[in-house]
Structure 1
Amino acid sequence: MPGNPVISLRQFVILVTLFSLGSAILYVPGVLSIHAKQDAWIAALIGWALGIGIVWIYVALANRYPHLSLVQCSEHVLGPWLGKAAGLLYLFFPFVLAAIVMRDIGDFVTIEMLKFTPIEIIELSFTFILIVGGYYGLETISRIGELMFPMIIFLFLFLVVFVSPQLKIDHAKPVLEHGITPILLSVKTYIGFPFMELSIFLMILPYVKRTSGAKVAQAFIAGTGICGLMLFVITAASILVLGPSLTARETYPSYLLAKKINVGDFLQRIEAFMAGIWFFSIYMKLVLCLLAIALGIAQLCRLKDYRPLLLPLGVIIFVYSLAISPNMAYMVELTGKLWTAFALTFSLLIPLVLLIVGSFRSRN
């Protein structure tokens, strides 16, 4: 990156939290409820623990090669030809992720807010601000995240506090009615979305100010832990307020949850403010995906500046997001069936291979 930007550990924690929330804060309650039903909160806890375990793999690789991104690490460990191939193969993951997330934005806005606005206009507008954010770089994005993070936490707590009078414990009963198998099916989806997506930070970690490997590990796990806690709370609240059946049927259960807020018949219809949490966190997710792709290609091609790549990459992501799925129902079904396997192949297997091969080479 131009100027070798450095971000603090605190900023890194915030970036990890916002990236993980992304589209997950709207989708996760419904995704977990499809199989686990009223036990979705148990699936959220198990997936949270497994997600932290996955992050440990990323931390181990980052601490072994602290000044190398994942693309540079693949060349260093596997050699110039095989390493370039592995790095290019990995970059397909943030590209597909960015296209899916971009489509999520278009679908949400056209379904819930601007029903008569073409999805192309929504996504094109978002693509523009995405490219602008990528051009200003990692340091600027990190400072914006640091500035907005307290507001995100405030809005989240506001939602939880004012919806809590409507909680019904009976909606969570009976516990483990159908055994552990449905919970494990939900966990399988949950670890792919969003925890395996965190491998993208292996492209960012060389630009984090390091005092020690342990501090980096703590920061990465802290960000994952905060996100896991927030997703657990929103999942439990959705189950206890909406009930497991409605939560599983709704595409955006947490958005519907915000519609339930009613304080004295005065404070109502504030779901647009809750959507603000999602819009900002999903923007951070998209811009980090775009930075990872552009930076990775620049490193593979030995370019001095990644910024000339932002415009063509943004346009390609925009076009691919429109072509990837004919409608919202198809997208939900497709990602539900294939995303965890896709993330496992690209986002977990490649870093794990690099870690194992690098360990053997260092011993020899």
Structure 2
Amino acid sequence: MNKQESISSLQMSMLFLFFMTGSSIVVVPAPLTNLGGNGAWISLIIAAAMGILLLAGILYLHRKYPELSLIGQSRALLGHTLTLILLIPLTCVMFWNIAGIVIEIGTFFKNTMLKETPTYAVNSLFFVTIALTALAGIEVMARMAAVLLTLMFAFIILIWLLVGSLYHPEYLLPVLPDGIGPILNAAYVVYGFPYSELIVFAVILPFVRRKDNAKLGKHMYAALIVNTMTLILSVLSSIMVLGPLSGDLKYSLYQLARLIYVQELIERIESVIGFSLIVGFYFKASILLLILMKLLKELLKLDDERYLVLPVSFICFLLSVTTYTKEAELEELVNISWPLINNITYVLPVLLILVVAVIRSQFGKSKKQNV
């Protein structure tokens, strides 16, 4: 995580795709279908459109200030004091966000494969792995992403193909049995997780090599579209196989894997697929920890943020074993509170910075024209 580190725009887009898809591919389909019914895929399109607008905002700021991260942009446009007021809440929520991802990992294992294993044992092992990954730096993580992303998507596509004989397209109708209300409610939830979270990538965009900046926008938009299509196909496949149960059974993709049966040759492979899906949780948490380290380094004006990795990981671990120990509380947070929290702490500061940047840009143009 040194200043000299740099990655290509393609590598940044792979990290972005991993961040957006990693945990959402496991967590999102079931509650989204539960809220939006057969029209859950429409909710994804609405939420993704809002995500594209947010991505356009952070890319605009990056084009204007390619050498500065979100903190540097805020200091240049709003000043040091207002930067602290705006970004300290964002930093605090990121602690909570990392802990929440690992809580989901522990819950997934508890409900599927390691039912007798204490949650703290799973969480502690994951935090050790996450901390060591973040310590390796963004260049190493970018190289890892190429391999792990291929593995994760290969297993996702394998699930879609192997359950093909169980598809019932008629389950997709009617699309809007209860009107547009449930669709908008589901869109609000999936916008809160994962689309509003993409704002944090404004912290690490300066790591992209300057010569690749021209391609960055194209690669990032492509990654977001791939993420959206993956979630839509996962929702559609879960509805076509599970029907009305798709919204009630948690971890839809894992549930589909349990149904795979091919001529007594391929069956009961859900554990292998489950572990491959866990890679998404692990890598998203690692990326988020890396971003948090960069954020703390600039806010606290430190020379080396690596000394903070282990203490920060320990704090997140404590949050993961003491916060939302009941699944119902976690579901309520994700479905109701998380979109609002993200809008206030993630989106609002960036929108304010963006508005000031646009005003200054327009003012500078008009000033030049008058001269």
TM-score category of the 2 structures, normalised to the smaller one: over 0.9
TM-score w.r.t. the length of structure 2 is 0.94
Work out the CA distance in 1 between the residues paired with 2:233 and 2:211. Answer: 33
Partner of 2:126: 126
Work out the CA distance in 2 between the residues paired with 1:30 and 1:210. Answer: 41
Work out the CA distance in 1 between the residues paired with 2:328 and 2:89. Answer: 28
- TM-superposed CA distance for 1:152, in Å, is 2.1
- Judge which range, 83-92 or 136-145, deviates more: 83-92
**What is the 5 A alignment of 1:274-289?**
274-289=273-288
- TM-superposed CA distance for 1:325, in Å, is 0.6
- The answer to whether 1:299 aligns with 2:322 is no
Partner of 2:60: 60
- TM-superposed CA distance for 1:3, in Å, is 4.6
Identity, % of aligned positions: 29
Work out the CA distance in 2 between the residues paired with 1:115 and 1:232. Answer: 30
Partner of 1:253: 252
Work out the CA distance in 2 between the residues paired with 1:278 and 1:304. Answer: 36
Work out the CA distance in 2 between the residues paired with 1:236 and 1:41. Answer: 7
Partner of 2:369: none
- TM-superposed CA distance for 1:213, in Å, is 4.7
Gaps of 5+ in 2: 365-371
Determine helix, strand or coil for the equivalent of 1:178. Answer: coil
Work out the CA distance in 2 between the residues paired with 1:214 and 1:3. Answer: 21
Work out the CA distance in 1 between the residues paired with 2:275 and 2:53. Answer: 30
- TM-superposed CA distance for 1:148, in Å, is 2.3
Work out the CA distance in 1 between the residues paired with 2:149 and 2:214. Answer: 24
Partner of 2:158: 158
Partner of 1:339: 338
Work out the CA distance in 2 between the residues paired with 1:3 and 1:66. Answer: 14
Work out the CA distance in 1 between the residues paired with 2:46 and 2:86. Answer: 31
**What is the 5 A alignment of 1:1-364?**
1-211=1-211, 213-243=213-243, 245-362=244-361, 363=363
Determine helix, strand or coil for the equivalent of 1:211. Answer: helix
Asked if the contact 1:71–1:84 (Cα under 8 Å) also holds between the matched residues in 2, the reply is no
- TM-superposed CA distance for 1:214, in Å, is 4.4
- Judge which range, 82-91 or 309-318, deviates more: 82-91
Determine helix, strand or coil for the equivalent of 1:303. Answer: coil
Work out the CA distance in 1 between the residues paired with 2:108 and 2:43. Answer: 25
- Over the residues paired in the alignment, what is the CA RMSD in angstroms? 1.5
Determine helix, strand or coil for the equivalent of 2:301. Answer: coil
Work out the CA distance in 1 between the residues paired with 2:165 and 2:135. Answer: 45
Asked if the contact 1:2–1:304 (Cα under 8 Å) also holds between the matched residues in 2, the reply is no
Asked if the contact 2:9–2:213 (Cα under 8 Å) also holds between the matched residues in 1, the reply is no
- TM-superposed CA distance for 1:277, in Å, is 3.5
Deviations 1:188-235 (A, max 9, x none): 111111111111111110001233654211121111111111111101
Work out the CA distance in 2 between the residues paired with 1:149 and 1:331. Answer: 27
- TM-superposed CA distance for 1:276, in Å, is 3.0
- Judge which range, 154-163 or 212-221, deviates more: 212-221
Asked if the contact 2:10–2:216 (Cα under 8 Å) also holds between the matched residues in 1, the reply is no
Work out the CA distance in 1 between the residues paired with 2:341 and 2:286. Answer: 21
- Judge which range, 147-156 or 168-177, deviates more: 147-156
- TM-superposed CA distance for 1:240, in Å, is 0.7
Work out the CA distance in 2 between the residues paired with 1:210 and 1:328. Answer: 45
Deviations 1:52-101 (A, max 9, x none): 22211221222222111112222221111111232222212322211110
Determine helix, strand or coil for the equivalent of 1:63. Answer: helix
- TM-superposed CA distance for 1:105, in Å, is 0.8
Asked if the contact 1:61–1:351 (Cα under 8 Å) also holds between the matched residues in 2, the reply is no
Asked if the contact 1:6–1:209 (Cα under 8 Å) also holds between the matched residues in 2, the reply is yes
Work out the CA distance in 2 between the residues paired with 1:332 and 1:306. Answer: 33
Aligned length: 363
Determine helix, strand or coil for the equivalent of 1:106. Answer: helix
- Judge which range, 310-319 or 191-200, deviates more: 191-200
Which amino acid in the other structure matches residue 275 of structure 1?
G
Give the direction of change, closer, same or farther, for the CA distance of 1:55–1:323 in structure 2 (3 Å limit). Answer: same
TM-score w.r.t. the length of structure 1 is 0.95
